[in-house]
Amino acid sequence: MSHPPTLHSPLKVAVVGTGYVGLGTAALLAYFGHQVVGLDIDQDKVAMLRRGELPIYEPGLGELMAVCGDRLRWTDDYASAIPDADVIFICVGTPPLPGGQPDLRYLAAAAQDVARNLNGKMQVVVNKSTVPVGTGDWVTRIIEEHAPDYKAHQYNVVSNPEFLREGTALFDSLYPDRLVLGGNNEHGVARLLELYAPLIEQDFEAPAHVPRPAGYTRPEVVATSLSSAEMIKYAANAFLALKISFANEIAGLCERVDADIEEVVRGIGSDTRIGRQFLSAGAGWGGSCFGKDTSALISTGEEYGYDMPILRAAVTINLRQRQLIVAKLQKHLHRLQGKRVAVLGMAFKPNTDDLRDAPAHDTIARLNELGATVVAHDPVAMERARREWGHLKYVEAESAGAALVGADAVILMTEWKQYAELDWNEAVKTMRQPVVIDARNVLRGGLPGGTLERIGRRGQSQPQPQSGPALHLKPEATK
């Protein structure tokens, strides 16, 4: 079993919010040896965490929390968490409003409750939620207004954005590319450098289930202003969204000129100035970050009379990509009224149960509108879907194979490893019509006796000679 480093001066930390970011932050800092209390106003979530249960699915997180022991506790009471804390992280949600701007109500409420419970010593309030440029200054004003006996430089606000990928959050937390710390004075940033010393120096013993990658040394520390740190987070996510939309736009042209998007992105991604990551054609991006953050940047530009046409185009292409999936289905089935369609994958990506802005949601909704009967399956997200997707009409399947039985078509929406390893040549024999729409370009090879439609790649509807398993997982699909 791995053990945390022995710190010369462990700090007391409070983490407000127990979502994907808050839970990961709390577990990471407790693993490093700090005394951490996680706070959430949802008493049911706090009760779950006290029982050792997780309200989210994230591989390896439960094991890391178990190692932390009594260095990690949970509460719903600000008064028991904030006064003694040296560092307070705010990790609450900032969901998008209809106009694209982030909803900052939860952040404002958390900042006010934190401020009311500050105790007079030097404390650092860290904003880890994704927020518009200028929010750090706004949080500073909230603290000035609500903190008892406020004095300048007594409480410092720092922006420390996260760059985690759900499904690999522990790896990204322990071995990050960079650590961004934004503050308007040196005191807050200095405290964060002390807090993150084990991470920066990489002198902790790596957890057995998340080993340190070969060749990894240490993260780059980017110390900057509050505004620049906030812009770095938005700009990074917007650029990654652009890469996905670019790959999808090129994929559409590949289909028309008989080129293969997989070969094209391999060729251009080999250029180190471009890189291969996030050049993946498919159903488009989803999740809690790309759509929200890109829309927020566009909205911020509008506030200053500054148009951002490249980002607008990225959003348009992403929406078009979701419509393309059903259009490919219609090409083969024509009318969908009364047809049975299997949807494999509900989470927006594999190794998470996060359903926020998942492309599968829009696909199922469109199939409902067109009169199709939908049978859906996901290895981990179906329970969450029962709570969050009650407005959609679909039948749950107990397995991927069961979903295909009697189906007129199947759409592979999430690149779960289980789906790629399915014996598709046998599975399609149980279908009424063996039409497979691979919306993530996971499957390789031909599909004897069936029709395989992919994104930016030539479909295969005729039997092909096989020298092994007909379909298998492409290596980059697990990244």
Q: What is the pLDDT of residues 153-167, one digit of tens each?
A: 789 999 999 998 888
Residues of the domain holding 238: 234-313
For residue 459, the model assigns a pLDDT of: 57
pTM of the model: 0.86
Give a yes or no: residue 2 inside a domain.
Answer: no
For residue 476, the model assigns a pLDDT of: 38
For residue 473, the model assigns a pLDDT of: 36
8 A C-beta contact, residue 33 and residue 10: yes
Q: Is 309 left (phi over 0), alpha (psi -120 to 50) or beta?
A: alpha
For residue 415, the model assigns a pLDDT of: 94
For residue 185, the model assigns a pLDDT of: 86
Give a yes or no: residue 158 inside a domain.
Answer: yes
For residue 5, the model assigns a pLDDT of: 54
> Are residue 142 and residue 279 in the same domain, yes or no?
no
Give a yes or no: residue 229 inside a domain.
Answer: no
Tell me which residues are annotated as active site: 289
User: From the centroid of its chain, how far is CA 226?
Assistant: 23
302 CB contacts (<8 Å, ≥6 apart)?
none
Give a yes or no: residue 4 inside a domain.
Answer: no
> Are residue 373 and residue 460 in the same domain, yes or no?
yes
Which string of b and e fits 233-271 if b means at least 16 CB within 10 Å? Answer: bbebbbebbbbbbbbbbbbbebbeeebebbebbeebbee
> Are residue 303 and residue 336 in the same domain, yes or no?
no
139 CB contacts (<8 Å, ≥6 apart)?
90, 107, 111, 125, 127, 157
Provide the 8-state DSSP code for 96: B
Give a yes or no: residue 474 inside a domain.
Answer: yes
Domain count, the chain: 3
Domain of 275, CATH number, reads: 1.10.1040.10
- Among 175, 193, 224, where does a domain finish? 224
Q: What is the pLDDT of residues 316-367, one digit of tens each?
A: 999 999 999 999 999 999 999 999 999 999 999 999 999 999 999 999 999 9
Residues of the chain with pLDDT under 70: 1-8, 459-479
- Among 313, 345, 366, where does a domain finish? 313
Give a yes or no: residue 1 inside a domain.
Answer: no
> Are residue 264 and residue 123 in the same domain, yes or no?
no
> Are residue 309 and residue 360 in the same domain, yes or no?
no
Q: What is the pLDDT of residues 71-119, one digit of tens each?
A: 999 999 999 999 999 999 999 998 888 887 889 999 999 999 999 999 9
For residue 330, the model assigns a pLDDT of: 95
- Among 313, 347, 373, where does a domain finish? 313
Residues 291 and 348: their CA atoms lie apart, in Å, by: 12
Residues 95 and 113: their CA atoms lie apart, in Å, by: 20
> Are residue 73 and residue 207 in the same domain, yes or no?
yes
> Are residue 37 and residue 139 in the same domain, yes or no?
yes
> Are residue 74 and residue 145 in the same domain, yes or no?
yes
> Are residue 399 and residue 287 in the same domain, yes or no?
no
> Are residue 85 and residue 27 in the same domain, yes or no?
yes
Domain of 129, CATH number, reads: 3.40.50.720
User: From the centroid of its chain, how far is CA 208?
Assistant: 24
Which of 95, 96, 93, 99 lies closest to 303 in space, CA to CA? 99
> Are residue 215 and residue 266 in the same domain, yes or no?
no
Instruction: Provide the 10 A C-beta neighbour count for residue 338.
Output: 9
> Are residue 270 and residue 418 in the same domain, yes or no?
no
Placement of tokens 């990509």 in the chain: 321
Q: Are strands 123-127 and 373-377 parallel, antiparallel or unpaired?
A: unpaired
Give a yes or no: residue 7 inside a domain.
Answer: no
Q: Backbone phi, then psi, for 19, in 5-degree steps? A: -85, -155
Give a yes or no: residue 396 inside a domain.
Answer: yes
Provide the 8-state DSSP code for 213: P
